[in-house]
Amino acid sequence: MKKIRIIPAKLKGTICVPSSKSMGHREIICAGLAAGMGIIDNISMSKDIEATIRCLRALGVQVDDMVGKIPGRSALKITGSGRLYKAEDVADCGESGSTLRFFIPLGMLLNEPFTFSGHGKLVSRPLQAYYDIFDSQGLEYSLKDGQLPLTINGRLKAGTYKLPGNVSSQFVSGLLFALPLLEGDSIIEITSHLESSAYVDMTLSCLNKYGVKVKNNGHRSYEIKGGQHYIPQDSYVEGDWSQAAFWLVGGSMGDSVTCKGMDFKSLQGDKAIVEIMQCMESQFTFDVSGITACGSHTKAAIIDGSGCPDIIPVLATLAAVSEGTTEIINAGRLRIKECDRLSATTDGLNRLGGKVTELQDGLHIEGCPSGLSGGVEVDAWNDHRIAMSLAIVAQKCKEPIILTGGDSVQKSYPDFWKDYIATGGRIEVLA
């Protein structure tokens, strides 16, 4: 993995934030399920988005690259027939958990053998919620030594689906994409409090845009009429609050950073970054050009990670240089991401001179407002969010650091290091 030397330097500048990866997945899938052609613009290409495009093509959807209207962004012309078929035997999901969990139910519409493969930690990420459904419906599936590749065979049946609320919301979204295409009506029942419900809200919003109706009973259940049809749309993908989070934290630690292209009416759960940082006494200004995080003397807070797990690593870095003791709670699902993010965050910050205690489902962080020592090598654990979080907090170190795994940002934000330099970050690529 690429090693990068990061020299402490305060961040300051303006960033055109990448488009939302979460909404990008959803828009591309809905467009591919429609009968007709639609253009999806303002796509920030990444390894995960490329995985979703590969899976659509494997299921018989035509996806053509176009030049986006915004410099540096892509657009896709997506042409579907309104029905899926097996154009390829295997769909390669890369390392994208969203892609895999969104497409498994769609693959179960084929009623013939179809295989999903993956790489990295994805091959062992949990899918038990789907296996339970397959067992209950008598559908065939097989794994290799209990891991990917996964081969499925059979067709989902309309009916009642029960899912616990503490599993990834991606299972709920995957079923919501597929069930409207069945002949009969279905209900998804959530048997306990649904974590990360904002991600399901994003799915429901996208489905509605493409003409598919689902009745949401307060996230306790979802009623889905069968025999529905996705309607082609031209669409524009909104900015990504989970990526903006790095720059907002970076601006609060540094001089100031402005994030452009953000939708303040967004349903993204990671929009909570602003409210959480305000609780930590970060200072913001808002205008028509975007949101600016100003250099601030931040303080500790209690941070609930259940609804916004992706922004917890970077919030942990802010807590590490804030006054007081921060408690991060309800964040156990970070252990089953690209790496164990609770462990990786603890390891990285403590190596830099922080005072972090790892808990079963959270972190206890004693802040060091004078900054961290640095002068060491830290590992991103092949996790894009760990790499970017450590890069952001490097500006608060007294000595340069060496980051192993800096190229992991390709998964979601290939231009991160370019933007880092543009905001005053100083790096040297070592290997």
Residues catalogued as catalytic: 310
Looking only at the bridges linking them, the beta strands covering 214-216 and 221-224 are antiparallel
Element containing residue 76 per DSSP (H, E): strand 74-81
Beta strands in 271-376 (DSSP E): 283-287, 290-294, 302-304, 325-329, 355-358, 363-366, 372-374
Residues 6 or more apart whose CB falls under 8 angstroms from that of 370 comprise none
Tokens for 196?
């990360």
Q: What is the rounded CA–CA span in Å between residue 119 and residue 142?
A: 17
Provide the terminal-to-terminal Cα distance of the chain, rounded to the nearest Å.
Answer: 8
Dihedral pair phi/psi, residue 45, rounded to 5°: -70, 140
One-letter amino acid at 267 equals L
134-142, Cβ contacts within 8 angstroms, sequence gap of 24 or more: 134/108, 139/108
Cα 136 from Cα 303, distance rounded (Å): 38
Largest CA distance in the chain: 63
CA dist., res. 209 & res. 212, Å (int) = 7
Q: In the chain, how many H helices and how many E strands?
A: 12, 26
Enumerate the β-bridge partners of residue 365: 326, 356
Burial status of residue 5 (CB atoms within 10 A of its CB: 0-12, 13-18, 19 or more): middle
